Structure 1
């Protein structure tokens, strides 16, 4: 099992150069101002690169790959769902075409190596390892009809894994669970805020869905009501937000999912949860 990632990965370099382009000083700046700006930019970029590298290093064990390959873009998507690399500067149709090309190249690389793609967790992560979340969404939603059912399911599973890890729920190989530490233990509000942050930084196409809007409104309403209601520490640790964040961590990207009765339960859970939260709020006079 290979869980190592390097700073020189394509994902990191793409984010680094994107940030660099945004922070170049204007041509009209004086030499002194430009020099100071360049120094400040370098410090900022170094911190950004270090943050990305640290994120990949800490979460890489949960996205194992076959030797010689990496899953840096998948790992970075846990803390930076809006970061772009493979999808940068592309329309959604172009994102899908690019993802198809990248995956075909990975299939060929595996076939030329030790063995063809096997469908294992390691091979799945390696196959989609350089796809940012927007590219994953193109695969999950079968944009352009370019992807098989197995590929769509694999992309959905990876997107859900990112969301679960981001909101403090372990998702990954069983042998790595012992190394996981829930950052929101006994902090359901913090967990809900993390889920909200993840939602708000999703790809544009994900945000443009009824599911995203419903989830965002439900979570925001719950947080607002709690902020305006009781601040009792016991209620803060009651676990209600914990349940809501769990719903958000199981985001469904398949438009046909609403036909599944089990998914109806998930979609209705937000309303039921709001009813329970309302019952805890002090009565208004």
Structure 2
């Protein structure tokens, strides 16, 4: 599948269904399909929170703009807009130019105001936000002031402050950040060659890709680790990939333990499935079910109360 003007690459990992499939991060396909399901590129009316006079509420949110790190070129924005706060996460996922000093509820409120202001700015320019735009430039123009912690807050928010589309965009950008950090290209097709030439991480070296992913995921906010199930699955998959890559290379893998018992348990499930072989499914393994229950048990009550487990 291809987003208009966007290319991405995958590596192999364990799927929920208990097989090996091309899909890292596993939800790439979902994010891309959501983009394609929006239909052809077309203009869209600005949306957001309006005051009693029909005007978009003014934004009064304090935040910083991260310095360029070279990855903003893979997140192209409209002229006059920037994506630095998104791209900084590729090299420093702990960076908080937008969310620093804010509680989760404050991040959600601030993010809503910023998105509304950007919707209004696009509409005022005569070119309203388009859900489908070449190279997803309108996505980056809309979300460009937000850092990864803010994206995670949007992704997991259940207050209704954000539309399904906004949450899907947050998810897709988070996956792009992770992919680029792991040496897996996800960005404008026209820049794929330049990215490959830059070198960084050899995408065919699963040992290097997995280790980079595990170490990168360890740096994201504690909120993401404790509320986003995608993090648990991605962290376990990255370590699993690294360990298998190391053994294939005849090396003893380093201990890349995350410090989270639910990740360790999910890794155990992956290893058990590998030993069991064909005819077994991951989601029926007791260790897999226990990993998910452990994750739910440590989640904040407002998140865990709304999470339904399907095995």
Q: TM-score, normalised by structure 1?
A: 0.60
Give the Cα–Cα distance (whole angstroms) in 2 for the partners of residues 278 and 168 of structure 1.
Answer: 31
The one of the two structures with greater contact order (alpha-carbon pairs below 8 A, sep at least 6) is: 2
Q: Deviations over 1:49-95 (max 9, x none)?
A: xxx53x2xx21221011111100011111111110021111111110
1:220/1:179 Cα in 2 relative to 1: closer, same or farther (>3 Å)? closer
Unaligned runs of 5+ in 2: 1-62, 254-265, 278-311
Give the Cα–Cα distance (whole angstroms) in 1 for the partners of residues 156 and 120 of structure 2.
Answer: 24
Aligned counterpart, 2:123: 111
Give the Cα–Cα distance (whole angstroms) in 2 for the partners of residues 165 and 144 of structure 1.
Answer: 30
Q: Deviations over 1:150-183 (max 9, x none)?
A: 1111111000110111101110111221211252
Unaligned runs of 5+ in 1: 1-8, 13-51, 237-267, 280-285
Aligned counterpart, 2:184: 169
Greater percentage in helix: 1
Aligned counterpart, 1:129: 144
Structure 1 range deviating more: 107-116 or 209-218:
209-218
1:211/1:68 Cα in 2 relative to 1: closer, same or farther (>3 Å)? closer
Aligned counterpart, 2:200: 183
Check whether the contact 2:75–2:87 (CA below 8 A) recurs between aligned residues: yes
Check whether the contact 2:84–2:145 (CA below 8 A) recurs between aligned residues: yes
Give the Cα–Cα distance (whole angstroms) in 2 for the partners of residues 60 and 203 of structure 1.
Answer: 21
- What is the correspondence of 1:122-161 to structure 2 with a 5 Å cutoff? 122-161=137-176
1:105/1:270 Cα in 2 relative to 1: closer, same or farther (>3 Å)? farther
Partner SS, residue 97 of structure 1: helix
Alpha-carbon distance, 1:112 to partner: 1.1
**Which residue of 235, 242, 252 corresponds with 1:216?**
235
Q: TM-score, normalised by structure 2?
A: 0.55
Structure 1 range deviating more: 172-181 or 65-74:
172-181
Q: Deviations over 1:110-169 (max 9, x none)?
A: 111141111221111010001000111122223532000111111110001101111011
Partner SS, residue 172 of structure 1: strand
Check whether the contact 2:207–2:241 (CA below 8 A) recurs between aligned residues: no
Give the Cα–Cα distance (whole angstroms) in 1 for the partners of residues 176 and 83 of structure 2.
Answer: 13
Aligned counterpart, 2:65: 11
Give the structure with higher Rg (CA): 1
Q: Deviations over 1:228-275 (max 9, x none)?
A: x68627x99xxxxxxxxxxxxxxxxxxxxxxxxxxxxxxx89844675
